Amino acid sequence: MSQELIPHLFRTEFRKITAVLCKHFGIEHLSVAEDIAGETFLSALETWPYKGIPENPVAWLYVVAKNKAKNQLHHQEIFSRKVAVQLTDSSGGADPDAVDLSEQNITDSQLQMLFAICHPSIPAAAQIGLALRILCGFGIEEIANAFLTNKETINKRLFRAREDLRVAKIPIEFPAPSEINKRLDAVLTTLYLLFSEGYYSESQDAVLREDLCAEAMRLTYQLIECEQTHLPQVDALYSLMCFHASRFPARKNSQGEIILYQDQDATLWDYGLISKGAFHLKEASRGSKLSRYHLEAGIAFWHTSRADTAEKWENILQLYNQLLQLEYSPIAALNRTYALSKARGKQEALDEAEKLKLTDNHYYFTLLGELYMGIDQRKAKENFQQAISLAKTKGDKHTLSKKLDALR
Amino acid sequence: MEEYILIMRHQDGGKVASPEQLQAWMKQTMDWIGGIAAQNKFVSGTGLPFDTAKVVKHNNVVTNGPFGDIKETIGGFITVRANSVDEAVEFAKGCPVLQGEGNTVEVRKIAKGDGVH
């Protein structure tokens, strides 16, 4: 029984204990907070199988965490007065009895940690790793799996990231109201990347990938629930995530290969999530600030109806036109050109595609291959071959080979 | 890479075209700008509404318009990145206002403020 309960509690409680303790000790003692939270679960693992699962496991964990925090501070005081002094300085008197694990403080601490971790001075890769560890309670092995690397690399990356936080002396607090928009931008970027990491991850572990997306959505929803951070662009990002996540059940076949949008079984789409996305897109339309998330959610909204109508592709094209003005990315440029082919025809799109010159990008040659199909079969083949030689994953190479074979 | 401003000069479209025509022009303009942005060469830009336009002259004389004197006036501009003036001219050639006879797009390099230009 405890074998199932403890992993579940770890996922929900590790991050809460870490956030509260870290806020209590100060950001420079983040690893101490993590250690205490980790040891708390170790205690549960050592105790519960013999003494039975306590009536209120969460409350038990909190009491143990508080005691461990108290011991930690006590030890440090004995071994090094210097550290204890620093602790007192950084948190305005870290009284161990005052570790506050109330619901309100847990919520606040987690949001404040989110702002601290997503501080603009911390590199993006480090932010995502820290977010997964501290805000989502992912194990090192899970993070390594998600990034297709080993535990050692992740440990090093997290170590560096904690150092960055310590050196930058980032306070764990809500940004001032005048700063919230700017700081929120950085937070949303990290959450967007976290979601993308799950959505586009090459990892074979489907459950893990969906977990990553679910966590990004949970954190985004926390921002919606908090009055200070419930701004239109947050709704827009959440809406975008809902629309994308609605296609999870239809995106991969039983072998784990990606099923392209036009080949997906639309009856597998999650219509509950689609209507949730539509609700938040409507919420996002208050105010006058148009963020990239508004535009991307708008595009994702049009993709939730599969019928190839002129209206759909005209709207998608114009949304991409606006998105590219706001923020260029190669993938947006390619998608814009695809929308152009749907709205204005292949020839016009080809003229534009040839100008993009994204010659190190296999999606670019895939797009050229698609556009030349039916216009110039030889060029279509050449471009698909070029795409295969540039594709990085077996799955992509396989999908492209099938397209090439279909041309022969 | 240099920055160039493309200045569009044309008649006040609101006076000569139907709402449907204006809508079509707007789409064409969006596609034109989107195509430049898709090459990561778009910097910024805006349309300049004709209504409420004023001209301030010598001795602070303020008049409506500049419309009394010239038929083609500045209707908007965009700033682009380009490797050469020729590339900027290629962007300008795609501008939908050029469909109107007499309309122009002026291409000018933006001074870098480095003391040389």
CA distance B43 to chain A (A): 8
CA distance A332 to chain B (A): 8
Would the CA dihedral through A199, A205, A210, A211 be positive or negative? negative
Contact call for residues A336 and A355 (beta carbons, < 8 A): no
Residue A40 has a pLDDT of 93
Residue A175 predicted with pLDDT over 80: yes
Number of residues assigned to chain A: 408
- Listed ranges A38-47, B17-26, B28-37; the one with the highest mean pLDDT: B28-37
Q: Do A320 and B35 touch (CB under 8 A)?
A: no
Query: CA A349 → CA A177, A284, A336, A366, distances in Å?
Result: 45, 32, 9, 14
pLDDT in tens, A70-102: 888 777 666 666 555 555 544 444 565 678 888
Q: If you measure CA to CA, which chain B residue comes closest to A325?
A: B37
Question: Other CB atoms closer than 10 Å to residue A252's CB: what's the count?
Answer: 15
Residue A2 predicted with pLDDT over 60: no
Q: pTM of the prediction?
A: 0.83
Amino acid at A262: Q
Residue A240 has a pLDDT of 97
Sequence-distant (≥ 6) Cβ neighbours of residue A198 within 8 angstroms: A146, A208, A209, A210, A211, A212, A213, A214, A215, A216
Mean pLDDT, residues A228-236: 95
- pLDDT tier for residue A3 given thresholds of 50, 70 and 90: low
Q: Do B30 and A324 touch (CB under 8 A)?
A: no
Higher pLDDT among residues A256 and A283, named by residue: A283
Cα B23 from Cα B98, distance rounded (Å): 16
- pLDDT tier for residue B49 given thresholds of 50, 70 and 90: confident
Cα A107 from Cα A149, distance rounded (Å): 32
Q: If you measure CA to CA, which chain A residue comes closest to B34?
A: A321
Scored b (16 or more CB within 10 A) or e, B51-79 reads: eeeeeeeeeeeeeeeeeeeeeebebbbbb
Residue A54 predicted with pLDDT over 80: yes
A-B CB pairs within 8 A amount to 45
Mean pLDDT, residues A6-34: 88
Q: If you measure CA to CA, which chain A residue comes closest to B90?
A: A355
Mean pLDDT, residues B40-63: 90
Which positions in chain B touch A314 (Cβ < 8 Å)?
A: 27
Q: If you measure CA to CA, which chain A residue comes closest to B42?
A: A325
Residue A333 has a pLDDT of 96
Cα A252 from Cα A234, distance rounded (Å): 28
- pLDDT tier for residue A253 given thresholds of 50, 70 and 90: confident
Mean pLDDT, residues B23-46: 94
- Owner of token pair 């939908």: B96
- pLDDT tier for residue B68 given thresholds of 50, 70 and 90: low
Residue A225 predicted with pLDDT over 50: yes
Contact call for residues A249 and A268 (beta carbons, < 8 A): yes
Q: Which of B37, B39, B45 lies nearest to residue A321, judging by beta carbons? A: B37
Residue B93 at interface with chain A, using a CB cutoff of 8 Å: no
- pLDDT tier for residue A291 given thresholds of 50, 70 and 90: very high
Question: Percentage of chain A surpassing pLDDT 90?
Answer: 49
Q: Which of B30, B31, B37 lies nearest to residue A328, judging by beta carbons? A: B37
Which positions in chain B touch A342 (Cβ < 8 Å)?
A: none
Residue A93 has a pLDDT of 46
Q: What is the mean pLDDT of chain A?
A: 87
Mean pLDDT, residues A182-194: 89
pLDDT in tens, A386-408: 999 998 878 788 888 988 998 87
Residue A165 has a pLDDT of 87
DSSP code at position A176:
P
Residue A255 predicted with pLDDT over 80: no
Mean pLDDT, residues A138-143: 85
CA atoms within 13 A on the CB side of A142: 19
Q: Do B31 and A317 touch (CB under 8 A)?
A: yes
Contact call for residues A222 and A114 (beta carbons, < 8 A): yes
